[in-house]
């Protein structure tokens, strides 16, 4: 049996995604800027994909820009907002559990003279809203808070933050911007830019987390907001992102978004059921564990993070791999020097607890039978490791 439980790292593209991308690469390979029929054919894919992505986000097409990945969307939002607002203030608020695609630009902005405050989290990665409220000041130009954490699956209170930000702007006559890295949230929780997310000014998504291709992302920029481009050149994407469009990737992302959001509730149900079954199995079968993901209303459907005390996650990962089970020890791209998760560290876990952590991340293709198999194999691996006793 092959059980893929590393969907937060990347997902298997839908067959329809592979098909449309093959068609673009083989036949409709023109440059969308070309005036001839091949160019027009290519442009049609870009237009259709923009429509699908906009529909998935409850946005209008003119608010959607394609980028080369989620990382580029994040960089564009942070550097763009900071440059656009640098004369209005020096403070940026983000969280200590963001992906490096946010933390690294934030570091650069600190070097350039901005003051960055990192809001902390509790032991389930739930955001400290009191610290956030206290941090918001008239000197703030940008808030960037992810919508769902990639290591624990914790939902972040972006809607509440948007409301607080809007009320603050109104009361103080400010124009604080709000960006959300929704790379992990896209396709997992509803993101409606005209509904609950209407106070969000910019939002990043990525193709490969929703069964689309790697190397393609999207940035939502609310109508009326002008931020400088991160990549300049030929002026593609209405001057927001120069560079010849990755038409195959764009078509793939559009197709994935359409499938994903066409069947949203059914997909989320399958994902949530798999997660609940594995959580139940692990809790009832394996002692001495810490559930690092929330089990309340802040639990997203896609991730379960567990520390198996007295073990090493990396060893468990390779043991499980031999049984055809693919998991992760945390983020695939940790920003911590020692390679330990900065997210679990920020949650207050001790180094040994971080060392024994495994991240299981789900897709709609996971079944209850798979989860029972994984429970059994994890139990065997943990028991074997603990018998060796080297980390007790
Ligand atoms: N933000 C988050 C929360 C992520 O999980 C990831 C990827 O793992 C990224 C950003 C980067 O996205 P991409 O791989 O498309 O650059």
Q: What is the mean pLDDT of the chain?
A: 96
Q: Where are the domains of the chain?
A: 3-11+263-389, 15-262
Ligand 1, atom nearest to 69 Cα = 15
Q: Are 77 and 204 in contact (CB under 8 A)?
A: yes
Rounded CA gap, 391 and 279, in Å? Answer: 24
- Residue 392 predicted with pLDDT over 60: no
Q: Which of 7, 10, 71 most suits a substitution to test ligand 1, by most atoms within 8 Å of the C-beta?
A: 71
Q: Which of 148, 182, 206 most suits a substitution to test ligand 1, by most atoms within 8 Å of the C-beta?
A: 206
Ligand 1, atom nearest to 215 Cα = 15
Q: Which of 149, 184, 207, 300 most suits a substitution to test ligand 1, by most atoms within 8 Å of the C-beta?
A: 184
pLDDT in tens, 14-71: 999 999 999 999 999 999 999 999 999 999 999 999 999 999 999 999 999 999 999 9
Mean pLDDT of 113-140: 98
- What's the CATH code, domain 15-262? 3.40.640.10
**What pLDDT is attached to residue 338?**
57
- Residue 274 predicted with pLDDT over 90: yes
Q: Read off the tokens for 77.
A: 């939002």
**What pLDDT is attached to residue 236?**
97
For residue 392, report the distance from its CA to the centre of ligand 1, in Å.
Answer: 35
Q: Does residue 99 line the site of ligand 1, with CB under 6 A? A: yes
Q: Does residue 101 line the site of ligand 1, with CB under 6 A? A: yes
User: Where does the pLDDT of residue 336 fall: very low under 50, low under 70, confident under 90, or very high at 90 and above?
Assistant: very low
Q: Does residue 105 line the site of ligand 1, with CB under 6 A? A: no
Q: pTM of the prediction?
A: 0.97
User: Where does the pLDDT of residue 332 fall: very low under 50, low under 70, confident under 90, or very high at 90 and above?
Assistant: very low
Mean pLDDT of 133-158: 98
First to last CA, the chain: 32
**What pLDDT is attached to residue 388?**
82
User: Where does the pLDDT of residue 389 fall: very low under 50, low under 70, confident under 90, or very high at 90 and above?
Assistant: low
What's the CA dihedral at 208, 97, 122, 364 to 10 degrees?
0
User: Active-site residue numbers?
Assistant: 333
Q: Does residue 71 line the site of ligand 1, with CB under 6 A? A: yes
Ligand 1, atom nearest to 148 Cα = 3
Rounded CA gap, 345 and 337, in Å? Answer: 12
Q: Does residue 69 line the site of ligand 1, with CB under 6 A? A: yes
pLDDT in tens, 298-315: 999 999 999 999 999 999
Q: Which residue has the tokens 């029929």?
A: 37
Q: Does residue 6 line the site of ligand 1, with CB under 6 A? A: no
Rounded CA gap, 63 and 307, in Å? Answer: 41
Rounded CA gap, 348 and 340, in Å? Answer: 13
Rounded CA gap, 173 and 318, in Å? Answer: 55
Q: Does residue 183 line the site of ligand 1, with CB under 6 A? A: yes
Rounded CA gap, 260 and 32, in Å? Answer: 26
Rounded CA gap, 203 and 147, in Å? Answer: 9
Fold classified for 3-11+263-389: 3.90.1150
Q: How many H-runs (helices) and E-runs (strands) does the chain carry?
A: 12, 12
What's the CA dihedral at 293, 295, 298, 304 to 10 degrees?
30
What's the CA dihedral at 70, 219, 52, 146 to 10 degrees?
60
Phi first, then psi, for residue 45 (nearest 5°) are -65, -40
Q: Which residue has the tokens 């509803």?
A: 190
Q: Are 317 and 374 in contact (CB under 8 A)?
A: no
pLDDT in tens, 67-87: 999 999 999 999 999 999 999
Q: Does residue 303 line the site of ligand 1, with CB under 6 A? A: no
Rounded CA gap, 352 and 333, in Å? Answer: 20
Nearest protein Cα to ligand 1, atom 13 = 70
What's the CA dihedral at 132, 138, 144, 145 to 10 degrees?
20
């Amino acid at each position: 049996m092959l059980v893929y439980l590393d969907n937060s790292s990347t997902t298997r593209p839908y067959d329809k995604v592979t098909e449309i991308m093959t068609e673009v690469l083989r036949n409709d390979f023109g440059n969308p800027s070309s005036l001839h029929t091949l160019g027009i054919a290519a442009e049609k894919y870009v237009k259709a994909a923009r429509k699908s992505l906009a529909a998935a986000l409850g946005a209008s097409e003119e608010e959607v820009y394609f980028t080369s990945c989620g990382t580029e969307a994040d960089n564009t939002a942070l550097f763009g907002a900071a440059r656009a607002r640098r004369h209005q203030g020096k403070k940026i608020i983000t969280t200590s559990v963001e992906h490096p695609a946010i933390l690294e630009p934030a570091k650069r902005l600190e070097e350039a003279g901005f003051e960055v405050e990192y809001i902390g989290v509790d032991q389930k990665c739930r955001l400290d809203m009191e610290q956030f409220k206290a941090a918001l000041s008239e000197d703030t130009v940008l808030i960037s808070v992810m919508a769902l954490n990639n290591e624990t699956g914790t939902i972040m209170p972006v809607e509440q933050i948007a409301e607080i930000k809007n009320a603050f702007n109104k009361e103080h006559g400010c124009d604080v911007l709000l960006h959300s890295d929704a790379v992990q949230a896209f396709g997992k929780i509803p993101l409606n830019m005209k509904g609950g997310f209407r106070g969000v000014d910019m939002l990043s998504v990525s193709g490969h987390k929703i069964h689309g291709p790697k190397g393609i992302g999207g940035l939502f920029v609310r109508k009326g907001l002008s931020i400088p481009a991160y990549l300049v050149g030929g002026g593609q994407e209405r001057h927001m992102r120069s560079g010849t469009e990755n038409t195959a990737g764009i078509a793939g992302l559009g197709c994935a978004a359409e499938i994903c959001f066409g069947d949203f509730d059914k997909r989320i149900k399958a994902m949530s059921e798999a997660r609940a079954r594995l959580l139940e199995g692990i809790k009832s079968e394996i002692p001495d564990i810490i559930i690092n993901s929330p089990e309340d209303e802040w639990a997203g459907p896609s991730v379960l993070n567990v520390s198996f005390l007295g073990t090493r996650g990396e060893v468990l990962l390779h043991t499980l791999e031999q049984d055809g089970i693919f998991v992760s020890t945390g983020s695939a791209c940790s920003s911590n020097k020692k390679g330990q998760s900065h997210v679990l560290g920020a949650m207050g876990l001790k180094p040994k607890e971080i060392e024994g952590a495994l991240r299981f991340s789900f897709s709609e293709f996971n079944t209850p039978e798979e989860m029972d198999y994984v429970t059994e194999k994890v139990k065997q691996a943990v028991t074997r490791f603990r018998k060796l006793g080297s980390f007790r």
